[in-house]
């Protein structure tokens, strides 16, 4: 059976078990450095430390400056934000089996908003990025180091090559790093991403796609008391469209819409001539995504019937859906069988969340995208990591690497099912 462990598997698990304390020390150190997505200084401070850790695998590591991210500010103007570097590590690019491993080192927490690391009982630690996903990066690196060591001893590592892509902007959409992810993924048979698993150990199955639209409305300013009739309120237009978008909720199964914010205007005695409406949508499949975008554009067209109002649209579906297909089902089955070797009965649950697994799938590569630590309450000040899942998930990942290398898990056959 696939779940049976061989000598390389036993050696890998024995080694990982000795690394729990070192992994914990590493992730705690990284979590103490704020790497909020818009904190460029913090991202650039942590990147060299992660690069050094990647070099412990023996891979060739480089830090690559990412292109600037376009941000639409509250006035509807485009700002350029220069984020931290993309980290890329390459090992044995000519090996017959290739995988791509991805993760991100940014978090959702701005500086000084969530800083403490606290024991909260039941083997859990509360802290920024412990689960999402500095813990996951730690798991990834330790698994690769173990595979290199064990693979050398058991003569199997030369069959497996890999590329690691670690990004500074996943929490804001991978707009600077998407091309790096897709380029690496296109060359791989299988992808592994290290977003946190759920507290009970469940992993993500299918994922919805995600779209973001920043819609800049322009009107005409006027004195709100003396001659309001000469004004054309951009804020009113934005709010009218917001109501139209919210009315779309529940119209089509599985499609979600959300109005994130309305920015604009100034003093109450001025008819506002600018507003920015920020809208999001999630859709389970490409047809649903196309429908969702068409509905947003139809709502905008109706809103622009207002006299004197114009608009400019930025954005769209930046992460396509990641549905279950034959390749995903085969890979999920293989990973479930692998996990049985260490006593885990993995459950895969479909989710509305998105991650770099969507990007990898869009490049034509099947992937498992929640191989990081067990945790919960991510994107909140209650985020926590289950501490002993560091070694547990590093062990699971190393077993996956072993099986891909020795052919018990047939990466090329899995990828062929994508076509």
Are the C-beta atoms of residues 216 and 314 closer than 8 Å to each other?
A: yes
Handedness of CA 244, 247, 252, 256 (dihedral sign): positive
Strands 160-167 and 97-104: parallel
Q: pLDDT, tens digit, for every residue of 183-229?
A: 999 999 999 999 999 989 999 999 999 999 999 999 999 999 999 99
Give CA angle at 171 (170, 173), nearest 5°.
60
- Determine what percent of the chain falls in helix, strand and coil, rounding each to the nearest 5: 40, 25, 35
pLDDT at 3 over 60: no
Q: Which residues pair with 268 in a beta bridge?
A: none
370-411 pLDDT, tens digit each? 999 999 999 999 999 999 999 999 999 999 999 999 999 999
- Segment 108-118 shows an average pLDDT of 95
Prior bond to 343 cis, omega within 30? no
Cβ–Cβ < 8 Å for 405, 399: no
- pLDDT value for 31: 98
Model confidence band, residue 2 (pLDDT cutoffs 50, 70, 90): very low
Burial 198-207 (b: 16+ CB within 10 A, else e): bbebebbbbb
Helix (H) or strand (E) holding 60: strand 60-64
Instruction: Provide the 8-state DSSP code for 123.
Output: T
354, pLDDT greater than 90: yes
Q: What is the CA radius of gyration of the chain?
A: 23
Pairing of β 86-91 and β 60-64: antiparallel
Q: Which of 374, 364, 365 is nearest to 339 (CA)?
A: 374
- pLDDT tens for residues 222-267? 999 999 999 999 999 999 999 999 999 999 999 999 999 999 998 9
Q: Is the pLDDT of residue 359 over 90?
A: yes
Segment (H or E) for 309: none
Q: Among 342, 393, 391, which Cα is nearest to 368's?
A: 393
For residue 125, pLDDT beyond 50: yes
Domains of the chain: 7-207+322-416 (3.40.630.10), 209-319 (3.30.70.360)
Query: What is the Cα–Cα distance from 59 to 260, expressed in whole angstroms?
Result: 41
Mean pLDDT, to the nearest integer, of 281-307?
A: 97
Strand partners, 11: none
pLDDT at 1: 42
Q: What is the pLDDT of residue 391?
A: 98
pLDDT of residue 15: 96
Best CA proximity match to 11, nearest among 183, 135, 151, 176: 151
| pLDDT over threshold 50, residue 106 | yes
> What's the rounded mean pLDDT across residues 263-285?
96
Q: What is the pLDDT of residue 61?
A: 98
DSSP type of residue 157: G
Q: What is the mean pLDDT of the chain?
A: 96
How many other CB atoms sit within 10 Å of the CB of residue 268? 9
- Whole-angstrom distance, CA of residue 370 vs CA of residue 194: 5
Other Cβ atoms closer than 10 A to 17:
12
Helix spans in 304-348 (H): 326-340
């Amino acid at each position: 059976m696939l779940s049976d462990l061989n000598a390389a598997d036993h050696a890998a698990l024995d080694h990982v078990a000795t690394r729990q304390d070192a992994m914990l020390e590493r992730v705690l150190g990284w979590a103490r450095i704020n790497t909020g997505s818009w904190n460029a200084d913090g991202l650039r401070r942590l990147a060299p430390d992660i690069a050094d850790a990647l070099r412990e695998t023996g891979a060739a590591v480089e830090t690559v400056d990412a292109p600037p991210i376009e941000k639409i500010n509250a006035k509807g103007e485009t700002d350029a934000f220069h984020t931290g570097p993309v980290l890329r590590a390459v090992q044995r690019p000519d090996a017959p089996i290739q995988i791509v491993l991805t993760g991100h080192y940014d978090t959702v927490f701005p500086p000084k908003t969530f800083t403490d690391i606290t024991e909260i009982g039941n083997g859990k630690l509360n802290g920024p990025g412990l689960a999402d996903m500095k813990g996951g990066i730690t798991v990834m690196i330790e698994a690769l180091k173990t595979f290199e060591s064990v693979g050398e001893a058991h003569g199997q590592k030369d069959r497996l090559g890999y590329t690691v892509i670690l990004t500074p902007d996943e929490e804001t959409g991978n707009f600077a790093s998407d091309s790096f992810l897709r380029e690496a993924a296109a060359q791989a048979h299988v992808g592994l991403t290290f977003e946190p698993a759920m507290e009970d150990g469940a992993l993500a199955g299918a994922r919805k796609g995600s779209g973001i639209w920043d819609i800049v409305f322009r009107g005409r300013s006027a004195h709100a008391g003396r001659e309001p009739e000469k004004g054309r309120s951009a804020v009113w237009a934005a709010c009218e469209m917001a109501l139209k978008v919210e009315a779309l909720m529940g119209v089509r199964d599985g499609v979600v819409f959300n109005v994130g914010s309305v920015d604009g205007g100034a003093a109450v005695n001025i008819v506002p001539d600018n507003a920015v409406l920020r809208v999001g949508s999630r859709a389970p499949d490409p047809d649903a995504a196309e429908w969702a975008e068409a509905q947003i554009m139809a709502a905008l067209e109706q809103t622009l019937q207002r006299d004197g109002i114009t608009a400019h649209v930025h954005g769209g579906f930046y992460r396509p859906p990641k549905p279950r297909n034959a390749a995903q089902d085969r890979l999920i089955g293989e990973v479930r069988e692998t996990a049985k070797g260490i006593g885990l009965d993995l459950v895969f649950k479909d989710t509305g969340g998105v991650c770099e697994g969507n990007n990898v799938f869009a490049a034509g590569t099947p992937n498992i995208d929640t191989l990081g630590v067990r945790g919960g309450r991510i994107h909140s000040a209650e985020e926590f990591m289950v501490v002993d899942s560091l070694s547990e998930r590093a062990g699971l990942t190393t077993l996956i690497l072993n099986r891909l290398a020795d052919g018990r898990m047939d990466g090329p056959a899995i990828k062929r099912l994508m076509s």
